[in-house]
Chains A and B, each alone.
Chain A
């Protein structure tokens, strides 16, 4: 069952409108290629530093993303003031329709829901981090080029008391059919939920 059927059509639409409106009117934009280029320089430097030990590069990208994510979430919340999501279904909609839209101007698709609705996949049809990037042969087996996204998502979700595992499942850069990130909720950090919310 597609996610948009799970969430009422009007709720889904209003999230979409929120995301688009903020992207159109409230953000300063720059050319994506500059962004792609900067990220490429960073990944390439890491590969050199870790002497092509791609597992370490993946970890480092994740950690960098985490540090960005814990601060990015405050900006996102201040800008959108969206209420707390009741379940992962709504969370997935907010992530794809608002968060990705506002920061990267893309809207990933949500699929592959687990039976208990606590895990889902994001399919990135376009990825500004990796436009026109080609991986060297040895990297295609081990490197998750856009792993910084997983770190950002994990950091941001943790700050709103959702402990999640976020990792890549497949990546077009590796000659796989699509770019897919899996997000799984481990638990809600109930003790850390600010008092005053129900």
Chain B
């Protein structure tokens, strides 16, 4: 999954971070003002979308005994965005049908130096930020926006922060969208998988963000992020996703 841009929106709808990873010139047509407008528009659209969520689904959700309960649990997809620098050949099961593949080229340089490996994840010990499945906080808001040019994924935290990833990968859709039963199950699965990968990825960005927010006393909440550390780590993760 190729991430083109990453945006972080604070709880009042202001843009506090945006970065383009795609060096293709056609994407530089938006200037920073446009991004600010984009962020606040999205904030409002997100709110409107949650109002549009069918009441029936919400009612079902509260009834614990209902077998059709929507499961908000997001499975843990290992090593999304992590470089596999420690020769893990035995690890090979992470594929979806969407062309996402492992980054094999990084190897020895960081695995030899134990200190740098520990510091790679900031205050998160171990080789990955988290290893369990988790429940999404985003129950009725917008999670994915698919168009024929790009796909946008949104991850909202309990404190109101939104992490947005815009990806150039496109989810294929069949003609009979209106009738759900006609959507081939493989396409549905692949779309679900994409959302799950995106959620895993964005939660890790949240982990990096929390490290940054916690540890930098100069950072004011709700204000634009200007940390090189944050930039660098995020870029690393995005590169690893390619």
Residues of chain A having any CB pair with chain B under 8 Å: 18, 25-28, 70-75, 77-79, 81-84, 159-160, 192-198
Q: Give the complex CA separation of A75 and B134 in angstroms.
A: 15
The 6 A-B residue pairs with the shortest CB-CB distance in the complex, in nearest-first order: A196-B141, A81-B134, A194-B160, A78-B210, A74-B210, A195-B47
Chain B residues contacting A75 (CB-CB under 8 Å) are 123, 210-211, 213-214
- Let me know if A84 and B158 touch, CB within 8 A: yes
- List B contacts of A73 (CB < 8 A): 159
* Interface pair A78/B140, CB less than 8 Å apart: no
Name the interface residues of B95-152: CB closer than 8 Å to any CB of A.
Answer: 123-126, 129-130, 132, 134-135, 137-142
* Residues A194 and B203 in contact, CB atoms below 8 Å apart: no
- Which positions in B face A, CB cutoff 8 Å? 11, 46-47, 49-50, 58, 61-62, 72, 123-126, 129-130, 132, 134-135, 137-142, 156-161, 203, 206-207, 209-211, 213-214, 221
A89 to B211, CA, bound (A): 29
A79 close to B130 (CB less than 8 A): yes
Chain A hits for B50, CB < 8 A: 195-196
Interface centre among B135, B206, B210 (most CB of A within 10 A): B210
CB-based contact A194/B156 at 8 Å: yes
From B58, B160, B206, give the contact of A78 (CB < 8 A). Answer: B206
Residues on A with C-beta less than 8 A from B132 are 18
> What chain A residues lie within 8 Å of B124 (beta carbons)?
26, 79
Q: Are A78 and B159 in contact (CB under 8 A)?
A: no
Chain A residues, CB < 8 A from B135? 81-83
Give the residue name and chain of the B residue nearest to A24 (CB).
Answer: B125
Question: Do A198 and B140 touch (CB < 8 A)?
Answer: yes
Please, which residues of chain A bring their CB within 8 A of the CB of B139?
A: 196-198
Distance to closest chain B CB from A73 (angstroms): 7
> Which residues of A have CB within 8 Å of B206?
74, 77-78
Residues of A with C-beta under 8 A to B49: 196
> Contacts A26-B125, A81-B130, A195-B46 given: A74-B140 contact, CB under 8 Å?
no
Min C-beta distance of A90 to chain B, whole Å: 13
* A198 B58 Cβ-Cβ under 8 A: yes
A152 to B42, CA, bound (A): 32
CA distance A77 to B209 in the complex (A): 11
User: A28, A81, A197: which has the most chain B beta carbons within 10 Å?
Assistant: A81
B207 lies within 8 A of A78 (CB)? yes
Q: What are 17 residue pairs bridging A and B, where the CB atoms are less than 8 Å apart in the complex?
A: A70-B221, A72-B214, A75-B210, A75-B211, A77-B206, A77-B210, A78-B129, A78-B207, A159-B159, A195-B47, A196-B49, A196-B138, A196-B140, A197-B137, A198-B58, A198-B62, A198-B140
